[in-house]
Structure 1
């Protein structure tokens, strides 16, 4: 069935964000032929724009579609996303301002740039870059899938419309770079906050209140059974540790104009967690409303279906636009971040060492399109029962870069070859467990815990760290001494006069 009023409102907002995205290249006009301007917005974003941009690329279709789908299908374990988005900010409050300072002083664009400088290792920087690109592709695919769901439920041929949305995304990302998602993020936040605050007030009132809603939830889904405690806690901790290792998260931070802006954002970004909690509740509300996980999208379609069944067509179009634009913004930042990794840490490092910044920017623009195409191919071929596994699988890989990117800021004596060996073990062990689960789950039982499943990313990271510390100790015994070309003073804030 085609829902014309929904489609019209949805299309109006998509035209609006297309215009904003194309105009963004003229906003704070600069030479977008350089990677620093195209890929990082000239490092000029203040508190509000950074908040919108970083929030826009972290709270995504994962938040709007995948989390409530998991709550609907599996119950209380789906709420792991709440503690994880609380745990993460105190950790990155300590890390990201220091990383920003080094990036600003040395002109770094990617996390691999930092690894290259910190360890003086092309190989380790390459491994971090490849990991970032591979981990980002399924995350972009999750955004594309969220968009496909709302298109399909409106009655539009989803695959054809998805290609049209891809063209829009590719156009404003290619032309305007990071400025496009930064500017569109304002529209995204207005749509998402209004949609989901109205939804969690209006729909429960319509259903008879939250007391009635919770009375409809089966006991098996109402709470977390003891056998899932380890899964819940490791999903929360592992996801928190991985979140800001993703290239798009670091790109958003590097676009900030000061370390003070970064700290301020790490303090106020938890405001999004309140919204995440409301959105997760929609999984329970869908159960009480009698929404069935049927059709092509199964549980992943329950939130759009709930909105379509509960509101008039025009408001459903508004809500679907919130989800669709909530997918476009992070998909744009993710593809730009992955492309920057390729142009800086693969193309320039190994093929064109003397490539000028304009050539780097051109390569990044082209690779942005290729990354989007790879994500489209991924979403067509991958299992989609619970698309949250796209993000969780990416977390398995990206968490293995933590020693090189985050720990190296504070622990000066880590040896680069030990970190390389740890990466090999962590990636290998994590990927093996994902294969054992058929890439349909990111939880796998660990032998000494019996049949208790834990988040694969965390168990692989523990193996990684064991090798890193043992390998560093062995290097010392053999007479090798790790060096840190980055001086401690480079991590400290610049004086206020210098920043101004």
Structure 2
């Protein structure tokens, strides 16, 4: 503990206490009653407008892991593995502008809380709905864990780390306990309120870094020159260059498939959909799709911090003596900023972990409650019982994420998150395809999902990290019948679609019975207040729904 920077630590603690108080106060923020239903606890009453949703989605999608990992990838291997995040976050918003409003409408009209609810209603298939729910939960767990990894990198930079369990793990346990407590108490309203602080801090830190650090590092010529020199060096483990300053022709397929696959997958994550379903009408969804690209500018500037870390020659050796690129940005801030401002930067990263971790745990818990607990264990569960189960499930999800961080190597958490992206993309045909057509057969979709999940998992397992020798060492594979590499998730997605299309033709030709579609074409254009749009279920004071007349 002798190397702890107490100025930085004090500032982080003060800001952390502030957002903790906000998290508990949020239980009464914009509340119209008890938080004893998933609509209130898990979706914030479905009443967020454009301004709140913009911060909520920004806090949800641009996480502490983004703050750490994108510039760390730029630092380690250059533009191919780092800067692809910028075009993918540009591409994703026109995509969601087209289909997310339809998902909002059908969910509002039918009271759906999760994407698996929609799949169950659209296809009348419990197995397909269960597949979507389990995929969402599995893909979300390591994502939550990586938010805690981001916090751990900050704690280690401040001097809390190494082999001392009290210094290394206790701060993370305390942060976890506080996060679990105010999420349990306030539901989605807590991260929605804290997102204002998180985004404000991050914008402040990035603005100062972009304006201040180049002056200290000799200007952008010096920064880019140092990055180019590093990327041209030979990696002794592979005999190839360390990375790519500007991707060559061989890297084009890697770059665009990573960008496109990631864009298609991003809003399949349950936490992204949860944030969308918390809005009060269709126009809020579309307006946010139009203005969220402002965050892409932030992400582009954030990525350049990785090259600044190269120019600053930061030391990425952890307190345990192992090199860790995830420390590049915290060490850059620690080295280049005064201690008081580095403390603010570290607080931004820590708060940036709390917001998405809360939303992710709520989304995963909603999937368990609606599509596993209620469907298979208690079909007559009341809204109050659903809310209680979801609150408890959110605690278990956070606990599982904590086990990932404390009990496993950091690279395993990172690799599982990469695998989660491959998995969640395979729910796209059932969810987005169902928003526009009922042509796909339910068994064809389920088979396509299963084949793609198996292919993606095995292929990812067979990728060995040349430095560590561990499996799940990356997310790229060779495109069949070519010598080009591509994102495993997008290749699996292509296989998924092919199987679903072929089997749909076959099953319909054989006359195999399909599921019942409980939605109506008008559901997909419905808006709040439209004639025929039923109100969300009214919840009584005891958390039960009123009896039907």
Verify same fold: TM over 0.5: yes
Q: For residues 259-314 of structure 1, what are the alpha-carbon distances to aligned partners after superposition, in whole Å with 9 as ceiling and x for unaligned?
A: 00000001011100000001100000100011133224610010000001111111
> Do the aligned residues in 2 keep the contact of 1:434 with 1:441 (CA within 8 Å)?
yes
| Pair 1:31 & 2:54 matched | no
1:343 is matched with which residue? 369
CA distance in 1, matches of 2:523, 2:530: 16
> Do the aligned residues in 2 keep the contact of 1:149 with 1:158 (CA within 8 Å)?
no
CA distance in 2, matches of 1:327, 1:297: 22
Question: Which of 68, 78, 83 pairs up with 1:75?
Answer: 78
CA distance in 1, matches of 2:391, 2:510: 45
Q: For residues 93-121 of structure 1, what are the alpha-carbon distances to aligned partners after superposition, in whole Å with 9 as ceiling and x for unaligned?
A: 01110000011111110000000100011
The Cα of 1:493 is off from its aligned counterpart by: 3.4
The Cα of 1:382 is off from its aligned counterpart by: 4.4
2:406 is matched with which residue? 380
CA distance in 2, matches of 1:65, 1:103: 34
Task: Write 1 or 2 for the structure with the bigger share of helix.
Answer: 1
Question: Which of 174, 195, 220 pairs up with 1:164?
Answer: 174
- SS of the residue aligned with 1:440? coil
Pairing of 1:234-273 with structure 2 (within 5 A):
234-273=257-296
Pairing of 1:158-307 with structure 2 (within 5 A):
158-217=168-227, 218=229, 220=232, 221-295=244-318, 296=322, 298-307=324-333
TM-score for the superposition, normalised by structure 1:
0.97
The Cα of 1:497 is off from its aligned counterpart by: 6.1
- SS of the residue aligned with 2:427? helix
| Pair 1:99 & 2:115 matched | no
Question: Which of 442, 445, 454 pairs up with 2:478?
Answer: 445
> Do the aligned residues in 2 keep the contact of 1:299 with 1:386 (CA within 8 Å)?
no
- SS of the residue aligned with 1:222? coil
CA distance in 1, matches of 2:528, 2:48: 19
Larger Rg: 2
1:113 is matched with which residue? 117
The Cα of 1:387 is off from its aligned counterpart by: 6.5
Out of 293-302 and 145-154, give the one that drifted further: 293-302
Moved over 6 A (4+): none
2:511 is matched with which residue? 479
CA distance in 2, matches of 1:70, 1:360: 41
CA distance in 2, matches of 1:440, 1:144: 21
Pairing of 1:393-432 with structure 2 (within 5 A):
393-432=419-458
> Do the aligned residues in 2 keep the contact of 1:433 with 1:444 (CA within 8 Å)?
yes
| Pair 1:137 & 2:169 matched | no
CA distance in 1, matches of 2:341, 2:415: 30
CA distance in 2, matches of 1:495, 1:246: 24
TM-score for the superposition, normalised by structure 2:
0.88
CA distance in 1, matches of 2:89, 2:303: 13
> Do the aligned residues in 1 keep the contact of 2:109 with 2:526 (CA within 8 Å)?
no
The Cα of 1:383 is off from its aligned counterpart by: 4.2
CA distance in 1, matches of 2:255, 2:414: 14
The Cα of 1:62 is off from its aligned counterpart by: 2.8
CA distance in 1, matches of 2:452, 2:405: 25
The Cα of 1:327 is off from its aligned counterpart by: 0.7
1:154 is matched with which residue? 158
| Pair 1:466 & 2:468 matched | no
2:235 is matched with which residue? none
CA distance in 1, matches of 2:156, 2:306: 20
The Cα of 1:34 is off from its aligned counterpart by: 1.2
